[in-house]
Structure 1
Amino acid sequence: MTTANSPSDNDSDDSKEYDENIVNVLEELQKKIIAGQPIQPETIYQQFPQFEQELRELLPVMLVADVAGGYFRLVECEEGTLDTAPARTTPCRLGDFELLEELGRGGMGIVYRANQQSLNREVALKMILPGRFASQEQRERFQYEAEAAAKLDHNGIVPVYEVGELEDCPYFSMKLIHGQTIKDLVQNELYSSRDAAEIGLAISRAVHYSHNQGVLHRDLKPSNLMIDHDGRPHITDFGLAKQSTSDSGLTQTGVILGTPSYIAPEQAAGSRGDVGIHSDIYSLGAILYYMVTGRPPFQAASAMDTIMLVLEQEPVAPRIINPAIDRNLEMIILKCLQKPADLRYASARELADDLEAYINHQPIKASSGRFSHIIARWLGETHHAAVLQNWGLLWMWHSLVLLLACVLTNVMFLADIDNRLYYSGMWTFGLGAWAAVFWKLRQKLGPVLFVERQIAHAWAASLVAIGLLFPIEYLMGLEVLEAAPVIGLISGMVFMVKAGILTGKFYAQAIALFATAVGMAIFPKHSLFLFGVVSAICFFVPGYQYHRQKTGA
């Protein structure tokens, strides 16, 4: 005997099938993200319209997690090795080496002070963690570090003597540097501006040599810089180095390599960042910052919070933390820490030359530039401009809403409607309701960044100011819309703010709206028609451009 399924049973089956299907879609998307394939959210939403609501909530989180997870995958791998590392009681004998004491350990290796018996010399012996239990990838990365360091012959870089295996444990021996790291030294006393510049000069020369040999360090930080007893710096730990001539696949897509407080924004961006010479230059600036202030440019309670600061915020000016810092050195440091890579020094040699000029009391390049270059920087996009791709379509809609509001306002004015409540209601409740819808639509596109909240506050302030314009006209005994040109001035000011935060191209919109305010004063009867057309163009054109960028059209 059979019984028909009840409606609730059918609903349960449908719900189960729906959940399974969306899980399959999310798994495929995750594979593409991990593989580094480009993801266009709008295209995905159109491809799976039945799951659009869920995808709009989950896909942006997956993309952010790709950056965050990349860092934490690396950290967890490294931290996990510390507990499983084989303990060795020193002193002890290991092959041709007598291990005298442990000097330190990191995510991938442990360093001993050792005596090489056959040559009767003291060396620094680095062995892989966790010894013979290391994975193949860890062994390859360790070998990669040894090869990168071994090809460098510079007095500012710790030389590698030999590479091999002891008891199935990879190792390489290096020159033993007697001294302390910059991290340890700064914890006791800050560097003076001149001393920091001299150390930075020597490090920059060594990094420039490394770059010329095709090796990027990618993990320059105070704990990787040894200062010997003669005050000379030595770069060590090439565990994250990249050789430009190598096609090694050791760097995983989406993994953030480096120490968050000292990595460049393009490194913090994981798979979406273009890491190169400019990345090491940023790290050099971060090291100089630490030497004279006692803290890195960015530091937060967690690694992910620090990464978000690196991506979104500007560093506090060094002189605010330590007023004793020389202004010219501060300019050099801040030039290194520019988020757009093209605004930093073009090479470590350029940085070294500027530091040398500073030491010799000569003009520095950080404080000068060609007029055309200055104008190009002034009009160029900032690192925040990428958020405009999320606003492109919304700005196109906003331009139409704004044009409609202006046309209706001008029509009411020409119809001799003098009740200010109608005008005030349209520009406060009407545009206020649209602003709420706009913001809700933006939230559906993914996490809202801090800079977007700043822009939203400027926009909200303009709406409040325009809404108050009508009661102020009444209190001053002015006719309806007699102060309308002020709307153009307010809107121009908002675009000035956007130009400073997002892209200098918005100065054109600001100028256009300031000019429109003058036109509104000259043609008062059609002032809102004029403002509506100009402001709609100011929003629609960049909105269309950035929407095309986002969709790849």
Structure 2
Amino acid sequence: MNLSESSEHDEQLARLLGELTDAAQRGETVDLAEVCAEHPTFAEELRLLWGAVMFADAAGSDRSAGFSSAASIDRWQGLKTPCLIDDYELLEEIGRGGMGVVYRARQESLNREVAVKMILRGELASTADLERFYTEAQAAARLDHHGIVPVYEVGELGGHSYFSMKYIEGSTLLQLLATGPLPPREAARLIAAVAKAIHFAHQQGVLHRDLKPSNILLDEHGQPHVTDFGLAKQATDQGNLTRTGAVLGTPSYMSPEQANGVRDLGPATDVYSLGAMLYHALAGRPPFQAATPLDTILLLREQEPVPPRVLNPQANRDLEMIALRCLQKPSDLRYRSADDLARDLEAFLNDEPIAARSGRFSHVIARMFRETHHAVVLENWGLLWMWHSLAIFVACLLTNVVFWIDMQYSLQGVRYYYFALWTAGFGAWAAVFWALRRRMGPVLFVERQIAHVWAASIICIAMLFPLEAWLSLEPLKLSPILGLINGMVFFVKAGILSGAFYLQSLALFLTAVAMALAPEVAHLIFGAVSAACFFFPGLKYYRQRMKSQSVR
């Protein structure tokens, strides 16, 4: 891609992101999967950037909203405690966030100590703030579990919406973790208790979606209690909290699907966050931590967490395996439920075998053969790969025909026929292939990487013929190396695009052996296997592209 094309590509991407962001801010539905299907050229970059854009937009919205309501907030910032407001005597402020403030209070009518959470912006609160606030109250109110902080009452004080809840005297898990990694059994006990509470919430149709150490309160007996259901999603909820595909959660503890702005989240999202808290308890820091939230999101999307024992050699191996299973990027490779996680932690506490260890091999195999987030670019190559399979088979057929003729008639200069076919012939086809791809739209960075690997393989193949001459070998004596070169190319593709290409790589490595054993038909064997390796994936991704376009 030249400079002008690259600039045009960036401008088009920026305009598209701007349009999507504007739509999200208007409260319109932004279906990222549908947008990627409509704009396959930008699909990979959209998936990478959309989560970061929405997170930045959400952060900016919170800041701007805060400035717009400064006068309303000032009253509560300057509030002197203790003071009596309606039925509540506010004793002291115990917590404050971007949206609300929490007071330790006494409810006069019932003479009980409670915690009162109040929305800061009062009458100036946005619809989204009020919706999130009441979502938290409604979600917690329907959950009657000893591990979840109960909500007592919802109402309004001095123009500010509030709800009262049980007051938990103690600290937070975050404060406990600030002292460093926890002892293994203590970490397992705490996260197991939280996982049971979250499983109960899931059974009631409620997802928390913002589990993090600061949302886990520890009472005077060291028992954890889950709070802050402000991002909770109820099974029957069709509200605006998830309409825009915005990034919801805290970057260091959110799941990859949350970072990608996926709307249809399930229990596996909370399982990931539970694993992130367990990881923090073992390693002394979250699995992903960077200078900014956006950098953290990019780390979460692109990298695997460092094993806790690398950061803390004293971390328990079994708990490390449990945490890493929770942190699998494909959600179906995590524990099926928070209850399964709790059971495995209890098995650890009871010195019993853990499921994370017994299932590890199958998980590794499953991960190995999965597509990466770059695989979407193959939709641009599907039809081209099918044509490429034909070009390979024709070239190999012609090579074998020339080989048979040479065996009968001892052609003069036959080496140059082969060289012309595999250099000039494939060089011309490569130019046509690349021109056709560029007509489909700007070429992505990952595609250029794959193209460089492919070009290197063509150069290696072309060099085989002069090498045979310099080594005084018969023409095509080094032909089995074709299988090795192309097997290597697919091995690289497997790491970048899809683990399924490991199968093609293995087939081509074995093809090299078959070519050495049957030199009379070596190129026919290579042509058939290599063509199949390109044709069937090409057909799959071509159909995938056609299906995506038909949905538009």
TM-score of the aligned structures, taking structure 2 as reference length: 0.81
Alignment partner of 1:326 out of 298, 316, 333: 316
Does the residue aligned with 1:418 lie in a helix, a strand or coil?
Answer: helix
Q: Equivalences for 1:307-322 in 2 at 5 Å? A: 307-322=297-312
Does the residue aligned with 1:76 lie in a helix, a strand or coil?
Answer: helix
How much has 1:461 moved relative to structure 2?
5.8
How much has 1:478 moved relative to structure 2?
2.8
Does the residue aligned with 2:242 lie in a helix, a strand or coil?
Answer: coil
* Structure 2 CA distance for aligned equivalents of residues 248 and 303 of structure 1: 26
Give the aligned partner of residue 14 of structure 1. Answer: none
* Structure 2 CA distance for aligned equivalents of residues 311 and 296 of structure 1: 15
How much has 1:527 moved relative to structure 2?
2.7
1:359-403 residue CA offsets vs partner (Å, 9 max, x unmatched)? 222111111149988876665556664453344234334434544
1:495-552 residue CA offsets vs partner (Å, 9 max, x unmatched)? 3454466545434423432332233223335433432332122112111111211221
Q: Equivalences for 1:240-389 in 2 at 5 Å? A: 240-271=231-262, 273-369=263-359, 381=371, 385-389=375-379
Alignment partner of 1:148 out of 135, 139, 143: 139
Give the aligned partner of residue 7 of structure 2. Answer: none
- Indicate how the Cα distance of structure 1 residues 436 and 192 shifts in structure 2: closer, same or farther if over 3 A, else same: farther
1:85-112 residue CA offsets vs partner (Å, 9 max, x unmatched)? 3323331333222333332222322212
- Indicate how the Cα distance of structure 1 residues 426 and 528 shifts in structure 2: closer, same or farther if over 3 A, else same: farther
Contact 2:283-2:308 at 8 Å conserved across structures? yes
Contact 2:191-2:278 at 8 Å conserved across structures? yes
Give the aligned partner of residue 55 of structure 2. Answer: 71
Q: Give me the CA root mean square deviation.
A: 3.7
1:390-417 residue CA offsets vs partner (Å, 9 max, x unmatched)? 4423433443454455456556765543
Alignment partner of 1:492 out of 483, 487, 490: 487
* Structure 1 CA distance for aligned equivalents of residues 342 and 314 of structure 2: 22
Amino acid at match of 1:392: G
Mapped pair 1:517 → 2:512:
yes
Mapped pair 1:210 → 2:207:
no
Mapped pair 1:80 → 2:64:
yes
Give the aligned partner of residue 544 of structure 1. Answer: 539
Q: Is the deviation greater in 94-103 or in 217-226?
A: 94-103
Amino acid at match of 1:78: D
Give the aligned partner of residue 9 of structure 1. Answer: none
Give the unaligned 5+ runs of structure 2. Answer: 1-10
How much has 1:151 moved relative to structure 2?
1.2
Alignment partner of 2:100 out of 93, 104, 109: 109
Point out which structure has higher relative CO (alpha carbons under 8 A, 6+ apart): 2
Amino acid at match of 2:125: A
Identity of aligned residues (%): 51
Report the count of equivalent residues: 516
1:22-64 residue CA offsets vs partner (Å, 9 max, x unmatched)? x99x96998599533564667679xxxxxxxxxx57x876676
Contact 1:177-1:228 at 8 Å conserved across structures? yes
- Indicate how the Cα distance of structure 1 residues 158 and 495 shifts in structure 2: closer, same or farther if over 3 A, else same: same
Alignment partner of 2:415 out of 415, 418, 421: 418
Does the residue aligned with 2:225 lie in a helix, a strand or coil?
Answer: strand
Q: Is the deviation greater in 420-429 or in 67-76?
A: 420-429
Does the residue aligned with 1:287 lie in a helix, a strand or coil?
Answer: helix
Contact 2:44-2:373 at 8 Å conserved across structures? no
Does the residue aligned with 1:282 lie in a helix, a strand or coil?
Answer: helix
Give the aligned partner of residue 52 of structure 1. Answer: none
Contact 1:90-1:100 at 8 Å conserved across structures? no
1:282-340 residue CA offsets vs partner (Å, 9 max, x unmatched)? 11111111121122222334333332332332222222222222221111111111111
Give the aligned partner of residue 29 of structure 2. Answer: 35
Give the unaligned 5+ runs of structure 1. Answer: 1-18, 46-55
